[in-house]
Structure 1
Amino acid sequence: MTAEKALTTTTNRPGSLFRQRSFALLWAGQSVSMFGTQITYVALPITAVVILQATPMETGVLTALEQLPFLLFGLFVGVLVDRRARRPILIGANVVRCAALAWIPIAYLLDLLTIGHLFLVAFVVGTMTVFFDLAYQSYVPGLVGRERLMEANGKLQVSESVAEIAGPGIAGVLISAISAPVVIAVDAFSYVLSALALVKMPADAPSAPRAGAGRPAPSVWASVREGFSVIGRHTLLRWCTTAAVVTALFLSALTAVLFLFLIREAGIGTAQVGLIVAAGSAGALLGALSVDRLGDRIGVGPTLVLSLTLPGVGYFILASVEGNSLAAVATAAAANFIALFGIPVFDVTVISFRQVVTPDHLLGRVNATVRTLAWGSLSLGALLGGALGSTLGLRPTILIAAGGLLLPAVILLLSPVRRVRRLGGAEATETEAAAEATTDTSPRRPSHDH
């Protein structure tokens, strides 16, 4: 089966997913958590920049530490997720994230907060996010059924985009009233609510292993190689993963200095920064709502190319902003709107396809492989942004990152992805074949590595 042919089947979607109690609980818990996350997205860097007077390199390190755990642990967590029940992992990750974030307002009120504390919290939260995200993407297919993944991911993406609109704007107001470190307590509490929702959801069992006719279980390293093999042998996943890695690198480089640029270089106030972030989130919401319509109108491949063109264009406009005038704030808001419109279009389509074509016993490893490559690129990009900001200046860094963000669109334009017209349910034949080839030829490790 070719990858293009696998994308042409249709699905039958009876009723609304919100009528399923389990999905409604998942959606409610995640929506609350997403809201809290967006508040921290604004409050954490402002705490570093305004309260602790962080340098460009320190803000780059702070951003990198949030993403670095995927590079360090992602592949091994993927193996764990394929061998264990996913719901307990989700609950535990939320509890730890709550405790870590709660330390920031406590330390601030006790006059103990330092940049080192922010570094440690960012790393712990990032590590737990590795566990949560990989278990989450492997848990959802069994919860809603593979034929409804596009619908489920679309609804969750819309919730995330709504949170991205409301969260930063409210965060800006709250920060002005009670300070950035204290506002982070809202995010800590949101993880409590998300964990409570997960407790009420259906328990799951470890995914069934592939029939092995008496074979011993593969070693951890052999299991890790299976995830890489799936991506390497599947044409569309390979190209989309490449584009995602490049996007992550330059988007993270830009994000690492974005708040510094807006506050120190452009001279925009902290309350206005929240509005600019909210405008970008409105663009992301519109993108999430437009996924199906764009795919139907111009085809999935051209939609992906278009979606990855917009970030570079938007941030080139952002680089021209200067001053705290109404025109400057409006220009920055419009630029962020344009830049972030395409990201959810790309994400929803690629994540849904990956979940559909990957067998359940490989989901953790395949998701871990993609996430490790992309989030590892995020951590490297954050360090790159910090280094460029320290040596070349903030505005040149924005321009360099904007130019780099145009490369993924070129990558997809030159790949078979541009010919894909429709995304629907798909069989896992090609994926199974890739994993089978790797498993049959990989040497076994001693049993203590299992």
Structure 2
Amino acid sequence: MRSGGSPVAVTAKPGSLFRHRSFFLLWSSQSVSFLGTQITYVALPLTAVLVLDATAMESGLVGALERLPFLLFGLFVGVFVDRRARRPILVWTNAVRFAALAWIPFAYMLDMLTMAQLFLVVFVVGTMTVFFEIAYPSYVPGLVGRERLMEANGKLQVSESVAEVVGPGTAGVLISALSAPVVILLDAVSYAVSALSLMKLPSDAAPHAPKDADRKAPSVWASVREGFSVIKQHALLRWCTVAAVFTSLFFSAVMAVYFLFLIREAGVGAAEIGVITAIGSAGALCGALVADRLTLRLGVGPTLVLSLVFPALGYLVLASVHGNSVAAVATAAVASFVALFGIPVFDVTVISFRQAVTPDHLLGRVNATVRTFAWGALSVGSLLGGALGTALGLRQAVLVSAIGLFVPSLILLLSPARGVRRLDEAAQAASEPQSPQPSLQLDQ
């Protein structure tokens, strides 16, 4: 039996997960929320620029305030999630996000919306997103059963990829008809719908660590350190986390100069960029659709290694694009398809892997630690891409970043993770003692 038990009272029954009422509720609520988030992804910066006449610095602050809460609070939220029932966290964070986002169209219609209010809304929504993004993957294993994590995460990733394909175009049409602040109300409503749906999910209790009569309840800082220690002491978790950090670093470096490269270096027009972006999004959707099948056919470890080769190869090809010709646009589109195909395959597999090997009472802290490292790497990667573009040129920046994207694949190829075939093997490996300290073992 896994330490800490299952955080949810029921698990998935045999058959399609869509026939499992609880998972269907989770999936449907998240699908609505994913689409709303993609609409706001376009509408929020346009509200800042078109309605509030934001400067370049103010526009940059809007983007920074979205990520800042994870770096400020992520590790501590992980401790909080491991000491509380997860479902109420999911419900309340969506309720707060609804209220915060609903303020924007309300204030706009009363002609009282200001840049300071927009900053505050973005920071509040970002903070609630930290709680949700850490509690959410900590809740799923108990809901569907650890043996069905690949299937569950794959279906959720497909929904997110579909939203990424459909959302921006839908947002553009709606903004043209209604205005950007009013369109944000749709995302607010999506969070309200999600909160109501999540209330119908099975209730859960706070996870508990294995009992130790001689061990006092750890302090917050000790709990944070325990999350780090689990990753450090478990070889599979450690190497997957290192690979995720390098992937975030170099992927963010490419994206920092991606559009500048296409416009200024390759000479691609705005319409063609739309086509390239859409085909790249289709690649991400295809990756999400086949992630489960690839893992079943190749095994967990080989899938992790292979999935990270695709972004490197795709962006390596992208660096060769010259001129605004049909051939150049086709090459860039194929390169983007290949690059983005691998990202959801890696995400679905590595998240399922992490959920399988981590006991319930540590899931929040392990998720928080990995996400904090990854988000930090995203921020550093954006700076790296800009620095490479300035020092070497845009084409060279894409080339260097693409070569860097081979690093995480090589790391996993040389690590013990490459030999893992099934998630249950990973969970079994986690049950073996990793340290003489009982509190830091991954299973008892």
TM-score, with normalisation over the residues of structure 1? 0.82
Q: Corresponding residue for 1:281?
A: 281
Deviations 1:251-277 (A, max 9, x none): 2233345455556775643x7655543
One-letter code of the match for 1:350?
V
* Separation (CA, whole Å) in 2 of partners of 1:329 and 1:124: 40
8 A Cα contact 2:104 2:113, kept in partner: no
Q: For the structure 1 residues 54 and 287, does the alpha-carbon distance in structure 2 shift closer, same or farther, using more than 3 Å as the test?
A: farther
Greater shift after overlay, 409-418 or 368-377? 409-418
- Equivalenced residue count is 427
One-letter code of the match for 1:376?
G
Q: For the structure 1 residues 108 and 426, does the alpha-carbon distance in structure 2 shift closer, same or farther, using more than 3 Å as the test?
A: same
The answer to whether 1:131 aligns with 2:144 is no
Q: Corresponding residue for 1:163?
A: 163
* Separation (CA, whole Å) in 2 of partners of 1:279 and 1:186: 26
Partner SS, residue 313 of structure 1:
helix
Q: Corresponding residue for 2:255?
A: 255
Partner SS, residue 101 of structure 2:
helix
Q: For the structure 1 residues 259 and 189, does the alpha-carbon distance in structure 2 shift closer, same or farther, using more than 3 Å as the test?
A: farther
One-letter code of the match for 1:132?
F
Greater shift after overlay, 285-294 or 243-252? 285-294
* Separation (CA, whole Å) in 2 of partners of 1:253 and 1:58: 22
Partner SS, residue 403 of structure 2:
helix
- CA drift of 1:104 comes to 4.7
Q: Corresponding residue for 2:151?
A: 151
Q: Corresponding residue for 1:409?
A: 409
Unaligned runs of 5+ in 2: 1-11
* Separation (CA, whole Å) in 2 of partners of 1:319 and 1:53: 33
Q: For the structure 1 residues 120 and 194, does the alpha-carbon distance in structure 2 shift closer, same or farther, using more than 3 Å as the test?
A: same
Partner SS, residue 83 of structure 1:
coil
Partner SS, residue 152 of structure 1:
helix
The answer to whether 1:220 aligns with 2:220 is yes
8 A Cα contact 1:61 1:382, kept in partner: no
8 A Cα contact 2:229 2:440, kept in partner: no
Q: For the structure 1 residues 438 and 66, does the alpha-carbon distance in structure 2 shift closer, same or farther, using more than 3 Å as the test?
A: farther
Please show how residues 294-309 of structure 1 align to structure 2 within 5 Å.
294-309=294-309
Q: For the structure 1 residues 219 and 415, does the alpha-carbon distance in structure 2 shift closer, same or farther, using more than 3 Å as the test?
A: same
Greater shift after overlay, 157-166 or 243-252? 157-166
Comparing both chains, which one has the higher relative contact order based on Cα–Cα distances under 8 Å and sequence gaps of 6 or more?
Answer: 1
Q: Corresponding residue for 1:351?
A: 351
- CA drift of 1:241 comes to 0.6
One-letter code of the match for 1:128?
M
* Separation (CA, whole Å) in 2 of partners of 1:313 and 1:81: 38
- CA drift of 1:215 comes to 2.9
* Separation (CA, whole Å) in 1 of partners of 2:397 and 2:54: 20
* Separation (CA, whole Å) in 2 of partners of 1:325 and 1:111: 47
8 A Cα contact 2:22 2:202, kept in partner: yes
Deviations 1:360-388 (A, max 9, x none): 11111111111111122223323444555
Q: For the structure 1 residues 280 and 49, does the alpha-carbon distance in structure 2 shift closer, same or farther, using more than 3 Å as the test?
A: farther
* Separation (CA, whole Å) in 1 of partners of 2:433 and 2:298: 31
One-letter code of the match for 1:133?
E
* Separation (CA, whole Å) in 1 of partners of 2:254 and 2:49: 16
TM-score, with normalisation over the residues of structure 2? 0.83
Greater shift after overlay, 244-253 or 175-184? 175-184
* Separation (CA, whole Å) in 1 of partners of 2:122 and 2:393: 25
Please show how residues 46-195 of structure 1 align to structure 2 within 5 Å.
52=53, 55=56, 62-105=62-105, 110=111, 112=113, 114=115, 119-178=119-178, 180-195=180-195
8 A Cα contact 1:43 1:184, kept in partner: yes
Q: Corresponding residue for 1:243?
A: 243
Q: For the structure 1 residues 297 and 360, does the alpha-carbon distance in structure 2 shift closer, same or farther, using more than 3 Å as the test?
A: closer
Partner SS, residue 204 of structure 1:
coil
Q: Corresponding residue for 1:373?
A: 373
Q: For the structure 1 residues 145 and 350, does the alpha-carbon distance in structure 2 shift closer, same or farther, using more than 3 Å as the test?
A: same
- CA drift of 1:417 comes to 2.5
- CA drift of 1:45 comes to 5.1
Partner SS, residue 73 of structure 1:
helix
* Separation (CA, whole Å) in 1 of partners of 2:192 and 2:436: 41
Q: Corresponding residue for 2:40?
A: 40
Deviations 1:149-180 (A, max 9, x none): 22211221222222222223323443455555
Deviations 1:260-302 (A, max 9, x none): 5556775643x76555433222211211222233234444333
> Sequence identity of aligned pairs in percent?
69
Q: Corresponding residue for 2:20?
A: 20
One-letter code of the match for 1:237?
L
Deviations 1:73-99 (A, max 9, x none): 111111111111111111121122233
8 A Cα contact 2:304 2:350, kept in partner: no
Q: For the structure 1 residues 399 and 215, does the alpha-carbon distance in structure 2 shift closer, same or farther, using more than 3 Å as the test?
A: same
8 A Cα contact 1:86 1:206, kept in partner: yes
Q: For the structure 1 residues 58 and 346, does the alpha-carbon distance in structure 2 shift closer, same or farther, using more than 3 Å as the test?
A: farther
Unaligned runs of 5+ in 1: 1-11, 442-450
Partner SS, residue 308 of structure 2:
helix
Deviations 1:99-142 (A, max 9, x none): 3334555566648554x665544433322111001111111122
* Separation (CA, whole Å) in 2 of partners of 1:256 and 1:123: 22
* Separation (CA, whole Å) in 1 of partners of 2:172 and 2:328: 18
Q: For the structure 1 residues 424 and 151, does the alpha-carbon distance in structure 2 shift closer, same or farther, using more than 3 Å as the test?
A: farther
What CA RMSD, in Å, does the superposition of the two structures yield over aligned residues?
3.4
8 A Cα contact 2:281 2:340, kept in partner: yes
